[in-house]
C-alpha cells in the first residue's frame, strides 16, 4: 500500500471537487485527462475534457450553488494507473427558481499518472437516490459567495 500515492490521488479528487464548487474552471480542467470519460448519473455523459468543462461552465453560473462532498475513499494503485470508489453527497441550490436537488452516489473513477501528475481519466457514478424539492417560503439565503449587491 503506497500511502503517499494514495494521498496524491485523494488530493486530486479534492481539487476537482473544490474547483467545481468554487467554479474555478481552469483549475477544474487540469484535474482531467484530455480524453476523460465522465458519466454523472443516467442523464449526463461526456467524452473529453473540453466537453466536461464546457458543460459545467455553461450550466453552473453563480445563481446555482453546488455542494459536492466525497467520502470513504477506497483506492487501489497499480503503477501509473489507479482506481477509486467514493461516496458522494451533493446538493444543488437553484436560487432563482428556489429549487433544491439533494442526492447521494457511489463514484467509481480511473486515474492516470502522466507528465502533469495524476489526473482523472474516467469518472462515473450511480445514485443511491436523487430528489428535488421547492424551497419553502421560510427558507432564506443569508450568504452566497456569488451574490452581487443590487444596484441602489
Residue 129 CB, shortest distance to a second copy, in Å, is 5
**Part of the chain binding a second copy (CB under 8 A), chosen from 7-15, 27-35, 44-52, 53-61:** 7-15
Residue 50 CB, shortest distance to a second copy, in Å, is 26
Q: Contact 83/109 with Cβ under 8 angstroms?
A: yes
Residue 76: count other Cβ atoms within 10 Å of its Cβ: 12
Calpha distance 32→12 (Å, rounded): 9
Cell numbers for 114, please give them.
502522466
Binds a second copy (CB under 8 A): choice among 39, 106, 122, 124: 106
User: By C-alpha distance, which of 58, 62, 141 is closest to 98?
Assistant: 141
**Part of the chain binding a second copy (CB under 8 A), chosen from 28-36, 51-59, 103-111, 114-122:** 103-111
User: By C-alpha distance, which of 35, 38, 31 is closest to 16?
Assistant: 31
The site that binds a second copy (CB under 8 A) totals a number of residues, namely: 51
Alpha-carbon dihedral angle through residues 3, 86, 53, 113, given to the nearest 10 degrees: 30
Could you say which residues in the range 22-61 bind a second copy, by CB under 8 A?
22, 41-42
Q: Would you count residue 138 as binding a second copy (CB under 8 A)?
A: yes
Binding site for a second copy (CB under 8 A): 1, 3-4, 6-8, 11, 13-15, 17-18, 21-22, 41-42, 65, 67, 69-74, 85, 87, 89, 93, 101, 103-104, 106, 126-136, 138-145
Amino acid at each position: 500500500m503506497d500511502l503517499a500515492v494514495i494521498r496524491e490521488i485523494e488530493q486530486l479528487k479534492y481539487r476537482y471537487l473544490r474547483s467545481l464548487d468554487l467554479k474555478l474552471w481552469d483549475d477544474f480542467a487540469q484535474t482531467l485527462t484530455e480524453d476523460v470519460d465522465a458519466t454523472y448519473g443516467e442523464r449526463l455523459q461526456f467524452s473529453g475534457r473540453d466537453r466536461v468543462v464546457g458543460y459545467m461552465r455553461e450550466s453552473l453560473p453563480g445563481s446555482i450553488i453546488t455542494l459536492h462532498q466525497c467520502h470513504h475513499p477506497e483506492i487501489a494503485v497499480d503503477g501509473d494507473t489507479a482506481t477509486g470508489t467514493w461516496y458522494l453527497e451533493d446538493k444543488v441550490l437553484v436560487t432563482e427558481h428556489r429549487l433544491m436537488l439533494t442526492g447521494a452516489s457511489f463514484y467509481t473513477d480511473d486515474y492516470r499518472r502522466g507528465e502533469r501528475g495524476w489526473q482523472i481519466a474516467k469518472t462515473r457514478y450511480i445514485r443511491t437516490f436523487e430528489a428535488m424539492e421547492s424551497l419553502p417560503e421560510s427558507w432564506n439565503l443569508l450568504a452566497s459567495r456569488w451574490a452581487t449587491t443590487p444596484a441602489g
